Amino acid sequence: MKVSIVLILISLLVSTGFTASKNKGETGLSFLKIGVDARAVGMGEAYTAVTEDASAVYWNPAGLAAAKHSNVLFNHNEWILDIRGEFAALSLVRKNSAWGFHLRSFSIGDIQVRADVPTTDPLETASAHYLAAGISYARRII
């Protein structure tokens, strides 16, 4: 019991550190807000109640238990200005439970860094690469 309380407190402290930035442009976890799966994004991201495939690890992990078969999802998203996102998920459905595993990668190409004064030449270029992974578990109660 004491160990679980300590783990909860540690996770709250760590997550608060990531979200405590005053400027939204300074956070590195904003890429997690970008939806995966074309069907879900096409539905205006109102997908949490209908997900029954491997994308449930992102939208609603409880949907893993509603799936009839195990499946795999691969998603590649290429945006403007060399912004790329990849998402891979695997759902393993058992008799009364299901496991989900996912890996998400997001990269932004060369970003020109400039000073406050307008110039024709950038000072340097920078890039950003993000990676997230997760494990989900769902179990049928009835």
In the chain, the number of structural domains is 2
Q: Are residues 112 and 82 in the same domain?
A: yes
- The answer, yes or no, to whether residue 27 has pLDDT greater than 80, is no
Compute φ and ψ for 141, nearest 5 degrees.
Answer: -85, -35
pTM of the model: 0.71
> Among 10-24, 29-43, 103-117, which is the least confidently predicted range?
10-24
Q: Are residues 97 and 47 in the same domain?
A: yes
Q: Are residues 38 and 9 in the same domain?
A: no
Q: Are residues 58 and 84 in the same domain?
A: yes
Q: Are residues 123 and 76 in the same domain?
A: yes
Q: Are residues 18 and 44 in the same domain?
A: no
Mean pLDDT, residues 87-116: 90
Host domain of residue 6: 1-27
Q: Are residues 95 and 119 in the same domain?
A: yes
Q: Are residues 62 and 128 in the same domain?
A: yes
Cα dist from 80 to 14, 28, 107, 108, whole Å: 32, 19, 12, 10
